Amino acid sequence: MRRNMHCVPRREFLKSTSAVAATAIAAPYLLPARARGANDRLTLGHIGVGGMGGHHLRDMRSRMDRGQVNIAAVCDIDERRLENASRVAGARADVFRDYRYVLQRADIDAVIVATPDHWHAQQTVHAAQCGKHVYLEKPACCTIGEGKAMIEACHQANIAVQVGTQGLSHPESYLAHRYLANGNIGKVRQVDIWHYPTPVGGTQPDSDPPPEIDWDLWLGPLRYRPFNRGYLHGTFRWMMESGGGQIRDRGAHMMSLPMYWLEAAGTGPVSVEATGQWPTHGLWDSAVRMNVTYTFQDPDWVLTWNQPGDPVPPEERTGDEPGGRITLPGFGCVFTGEDGTFHNWGHGLWTERKARLWQPGPGDRDVYRSPGHVENWFEGIKTGRPTICPVEFGVDVAILTILGNLSCLLGRKLHWDHSQREIVGDEQARRLMQRPQRYPYAI
């Protein structure tokens, strides 16, 4: 495997990103990095290539084989994952540990970011400053301050961002949206999400990092701490600093559904109140159990997160029904309207039969049908139209999960001004809207 440079001096990096950003902002809309013809392939860089990042890389490799894209670079802090990614991407893709080298490549049009949550804001902001379009795995950010910085940077650069709430682009998500938008259960007054608890664990002692892991780059903006196997790989989700528990992991998927299907994008709750149970041992410190109530006004409705909540048994499907058997019945949501209820299982993948069978009549309205989450992102890159989950929407959903954790942590109701994206009337809570970030990774 070819190994390239490990790190970029901060002054040199900021100088180069500022120059590229200034070029991107000067034009009303442009495909960054180079002039492109109608039949040019997008050239991609992959930042984070394990888990979902590996899934995206394999998907893009198949698209490259079909002549749709090029893969120019892969990046990860884990040498073993890089070796596998290099094999998947092919010999023409360069290999990096440090994502900043990917962003400096003038030939790369867009990046797919699938790193741990605490890196999302930094890498999105820096990608925007370099004029790269971004596909970002959810949740969008770890703090409210990060989210606001992301929105500003992406708007200034005028890039296409797609946050990875893939359920919004599923065919049954379209059916659910259409069913609700046409008033089949009347005005929706409450949406209740249920989910199984966050695990307890991380009991092994600190140790030296294994040779394949660049621990400093994994930590990035987080405060320094000794290496512990309990932090990675996927278990970072159960740490408040780097993940935030089930509400931030699956909640980013689940809360996007009512916000999109009820066409509540651009709005936020006026108050958030949470209770929960915290772990009593182990390294993982996210709430094991949690109940959160989000109160919205104008229109008035309530969203609840219930961990574990009251599951709705999955419906039985015949073998020839689209979507097949419901394989993720452990989480879902119930919409309660003035004239009935509607159920969904998984993150937009399985919709209750009555919505799937409903046929619109004369005068009923249609809603947007996504061609696929990646395809919708490509459309945004090529046309400049908003994606189905743009940066503002992804950040606002992430903020819902952040507010739930903060209310639970502080043990009191929080009041929210969505027009400013600010907690109001609680100075202690306001201080928790952002956190210090480690040099040189701060934004």
Q: What is the pLDDT of residue 23?
A: 34
DSSP SS3 for 410: helix
Enumerate domains of the chain plus CATH numbers. 10-159 (3.40.50.720), 168-381+388-431 (3.30.360.10)
| Helices and strands (H, E) in the chain, number of each type | 14, 15
Contact 265, 183 (CB under 8 A): no
User: How far apart (Å, rounded) are the C-alpha atoms in residues 112 and 260?
Assistant: 23
Query: At CA 94, angle to CA 158 and CA 2, rounded to 5?
Result: 155
The C-alpha torsion from 83 through 88 and 89 to 92, rounded to 10°, is 70
pLDDT, tens only, 72-83: 999 999 999 999
Q: What is the pLDDT of residue 281?
A: 95
User: How far apart (Å, rounded) are the C-alpha atoms in residues 157 and 34?
Assistant: 15
User: How far apart (Å, rounded) are the C-alpha atoms in residues 161 and 124?
Assistant: 9
Q: Is the pLDDT of residue 3 over 80?
A: no
Q: State the average pLDDT over residues 170-187.
A: 98
pLDDT, tens only, 363-412: 999 999 999 999 999 999 999 999 999 999 999 999 999 999 999 999 99
User: How far apart (Å, rounded) are the C-alpha atoms in residues 166 and 147?
Assistant: 20
End-to-end CA distance of the chain: 32
Q: What is the pLDDT of residue 39?
A: 54
Q: What is the pLDDT of residue 8?
A: 39
Q: Is the pLDDT of residue 37 over 80?
A: no
pLDDT, tens only, 111-133: 999 999 999 999 999 999 999 99
Q: What is the pLDDT of residue 257?
A: 98
pTM, full prediction: 0.92
Contact 397, 255 (CB under 8 A): yes
